Amino acid sequence: MEFGIVGLGRMGGNMARRLARKGIKIAVHNRSHDVSEAIAAETGHLASTTLEEMVTALQAPRIVWLMLPAGEATETTLDALLPLLSPGDLIVDGANAHFKDDIVRAVRCAEHGIEFADAGVSGGVWGLDNGYCIMFGGSDAAAARLKPYMEAFAPTPTTGWLHTGPVGSGHYVKMVHNGIEYGMMQAFAEGFSLMQAKPDFNLDLAAIAELWQHGSVVRSWLLDLTADFLATDQTLESIEPFVSDSGEGRWTALASVEQGVPTPVMTLALMMRFATQGKNDYSAKMLAKMRQGFGGHAVKES
């Protein structure tokens, strides 16, 4: 056993389960040990109460895969992990992280003789059954060591994973991937909203979503998921119009500014998510008052 996963949330936990399904036994660690124990009982993996216990259980050279929130949680764990590891070990950040942070962390790890790789993982809650799409950056040596695990994580041993280049490239590609995802989701949301707003045609949105899945140029997994939930509820009256945004959508917009590459669709999709979060409320009130000021238009008051 040379492989351990730290962080057993929705993604990390299911990735541990997928390795078990492929006959690969690993060590697992989570801040809440009861989560580790539950997954260990389910999969046969080894539950570690501490990072030190996990590192001791792994055979050197070790691979420690982090599935933690970007920022402080990852940094704190890295601080605790580095003194425990040995030269030749490999740390992989498989969560959502900024590619610039990867480059800094790789240098820091190298000072201890430890390799670092970054892996962008896509597949969500469906990855357990369908496999994950993984884009990872790191040295050729790190890629060779990770190959058996990539083959197990991915939909098939030969598809769904790619060594994208040096450290940072994996999370950079995943960042762009998520920016594209924002744009696609926004386009579908606007299109179906436009059809829903035409009551005289009495359009069956679920049937249209399903129709477009066969032969249409817009067919996709996102559309498949859309067809599934519309088949159950087309009004969505019980759903609050609030959409969170991940760090990767913001990082994509910032990268486009830094590199001078126009990404209006992806950036506007991010702005629309901000608008759903109440961050457009004050500006909307300002607009209403301006219209009232110059045109005497009525203002709705709550």
Instruction: List active site positions.
Output: 174, 181
As a whole number of angstroms, the distance between CA 255 and CA 268 comes to 14
As a whole number of angstroms, the distance between CA 178 and CA 167 comes to 19
Which residues on neighbouring strands pair with residue 246, listed in sequence order?
none
For residue 177 the two structure tokens come to 């991937």
For residue 277 the two structure tokens come to 């979060």
> How far from each other are the two terminal CA atoms of the chain, in whole angstroms?
62
Largest CA distance in the chain: 76
DSSP state at residue 240: -
E strands of 138-234, at which residues?
Answer: 161-165
Secondary element (H or E) of residue 37: helix 33-43
Question: How many C-beta atoms surround the C-beta of residue 126 within 10 A?
Answer: 12
Give the burial class of 76: count Cβ atoms within 10 A of its Cβ; 0-12 exposed, 13-18 middle, 19 or more buried: exposed
- Residue listed under structure tokens 């992989």: 92
